[in-house]
Copies of this chain bind each other. A is one copy, B any other.
Amino acid sequence: MLKKLVSEGIITDPSSAKGRLIQAAARLFRDKGYERTTVRDLAAEVGILSGSLFHHFKNKERILRAVMEEAILLNTETMRAALAQALTPEDKVLALIKCELASILGDTGAAMTVLVFEWRSLNEDSQQHILGLRDIYETLWMDALKEAKEANLVVIDPFILRRLLTGALSWTVNWYEQDGKMDLDELARNALSLAVKSS
């Protein structure tokens, strides 16, 4: 999945200098916040001087944008693949919940957290750009929830449900412990029980 996207030029190779920079930026932006992270912090993390950053990105904000963009693109593809395996409407919703939790709590977690918490630091153009990518992602969700609604699995309006779910799932980053007693699948089932009536 990742390899395919890299070879297609959609996502930067994580082993390249630029790719390592994006990953380091995701971690730093999550841990210290975008504003509190200096270009010197960023450069030190990948072993270069601060001025050299601007060979790869024209300014600091573009680094933030790249972090967010690659996270969305990767997770949209992951979700599409998972949906292809799911059969029933309930399976699809569960698959989406699992994917979203995995993206938030797994490898791309730093970038996803940045996507949620550092939105304001993007300029108008970048916000518009990322918003476009998010629309694709959100369409996958809405299609699945509408289908669940038609199957009477869901009582609330799908739009409202999606938004309440977005909050509930995003927030897990603030409390869920990867090594605790509850594994990701159980968390996903708990979240599903909020959304659907049966099961």
Q: List 14 A-B contacts (CB under 8 A).
A: A33-B121, A35-B35, A36-B120, A157-B190, A160-B190, A163-B175, A164-B168, A164-B191, A167-B167, A167-B168, A170-B171, A171-B171, A194-B194, A194-B195
| Interface check A131, CB cutoff 8 A | no
Task: Give 6 A-B pairs besides A35-B36, A164-B168, A164-B194 with Cβ atoms closer than 8 angstroms.
Answer: A36-B121, A163-B172, A164-B171, A164-B190, A164-B191, A194-B195
Q: Which residues of B contact A184 (CB under 8 A)?
A: none
A165 CA to B193 CA, complexed, in Å: 13
Query: What's the interface size class on A, roughly?
Result: 20 to 34
Least CB distance, A152 to chain B, in whole angstroms: 14
Minimal beta-carbon separation of A93 from chain B (angstroms): 14
Nearest B-chain residue to A182, judged by Cβ:
B160
A81 at the interface (CB under 8 A from B): no
Say yes or no for A178: interface residue by CB 8 A criterion.
no
Docked Cα-Cα span, A91 to B163, in Å, equals 24
Residues of A within 8 A of B (CB): 32-33, 35-36, 117, 120-121, 155-157, 160, 163-172, 174-175, 182, 187, 190-191, 193-195
- From B35, B117, B169, A117 is in contact (CB under 8 Å) with B117
Chain B residue, CB-CB nearest to A34: B35
Give every chain B residue within 8 A of A167 (Cβ-Cβ).
167-172, 174
For the complex formed, measure the closest distance between the CB of A43 and the CB atoms of chain B, giving whole angstroms: 20
